[in-house]
Structure 1
Amino acid sequence: MFKINKDKMVGFEIKTVHNLLKRDFESLPIHEKNKNITSMQKWIICYLNDNKDKDVFQRDLEEEFSVRRSTATGILQLMEKNNLITREAVSYDARLKKLVLTQKALDIQNEIDEEIKAHDKKISEGISKDDLEVFFKVMKQIRKNLGG
């Protein structure tokens, strides 16, 4: 009989770490202060702010975060409802609506950015630069293997 060794399964390890990451990230002070903003919404706020000098559309988020269209639609609709983003028409294509952060999102963006940086520092603590390079190389290959 074949027995699965979870200690040597990449997918199991990634899923376990994902759960720990999510739980730890959601315990940060910014999450307590803004309970109605999910961790994915925080990442989107930072992404939109980092790309504020160009037009960003839903499809860009789908690609950046490897989420399906229906998932992105749901997240963005909730962000609109919570007054975190607006969708604005662009002059060069009537079908497209760019995503723009509201003042409410801009007011908390720096705080979210600092929390994300602190969290990343915490989770990479004690890992050498060389090991981190290998980690990112491996993760890139896993994404490629999965079609991302």
Structure 2
Amino acid sequence: MDADRSVALELRTLRNMLKRQADGFIHQKYADQLTGMHGWVLKFFVDNQDKEIFQRDFENEFSIRRSTASKILQLMEKNSLITRQSVSYDARLKRIMLTPKAIEYHETIIKKYVALECELRKGISREEMEFFFAVLDKIKKNLE
């Protein structure tokens, strides 16, 4: 074990490798329709379909500015992944709704993420995974 290795650098490197895998698949499969960020956004909207989600909820969930959220949502709307629907109780608010096309994309992306998760866990025992997650939990707690 190398005590001189940087935890932060190793985590950053791993994050970059995972991002490349996910973005590569999304770009290959959906070209200019989706970005890697859109995959995470779709997951958020799918996971919250039973709730009314507005742009401010999206901004808060991803810790992004209003202008960034607007650009992402405009592109998703242009690509027929979402619609924005007015709500009866406040004319200023528009609920974000997924289209059937977005649900289909999400299902394909989830299958890829499940395969990636299996690849990541290959050759690692259950005990090693438990230890890995315990260490990650401690690192996260240290950063709180």
**How does the TM-score come out when normalised to structure 1?**
0.72
The 3 A distance-change label for structure 1 pair 125 and 73 is: farther
RMSD: 3.0
**CA distance 1:127–1:72, shift in 2 (3 Å):** farther
1:46–1:112 contact (8 Å) kept in structure 2: no
Cα distance change on mapping 1:122 and 1:92 into 2, 3 Å: farther
Is 2:84 the partner of 1:76?
no
Q: Which runs of no fewer than 5 residues in structure 1 stay unpaired?
A: 1-6
The amino acid of 1:109's aligned partner reads H
2:30 match: 34
Which stretches in structure 2 are left out of the alignment for 5+ residues? none
Change (3 A) 1:16 1:116: same
CA pair 80-12 structure 1, distance change in 2 beyond 3 A: same
Shift in Å, 1:91: 2.6
> Which residue, 15, 19, 29 being the options, matches 1:18?
15
CA distance in 2, matches of 1:10, 1:113: 28
Query: Residue 123 of structure 1: CA displacement?
Result: 2.0
Sort the Cα spacing of 1:53 and 1:10 in 2 relative to 1 into closer, same or farther, 3 A.
same
1:56 matched to which residue of 2? 53
Q: Is the alpha carbon distance of 1:63 and 1:9 closer, same or farther for their aligned partners in structure 2, counting shifts above 3 Å?
A: farther
User: How many residues of Structure 1 are paired with residues of Structure 2 in the alignment?
Assistant: 141
- Between the aligned residues of both structures, percent identity stands at 47
1:77 is displaced (CA, Å) by 2.0
TM-score by length of 2: 0.74
Shift of the alpha carbon at 1:52?
Answer: 1.4
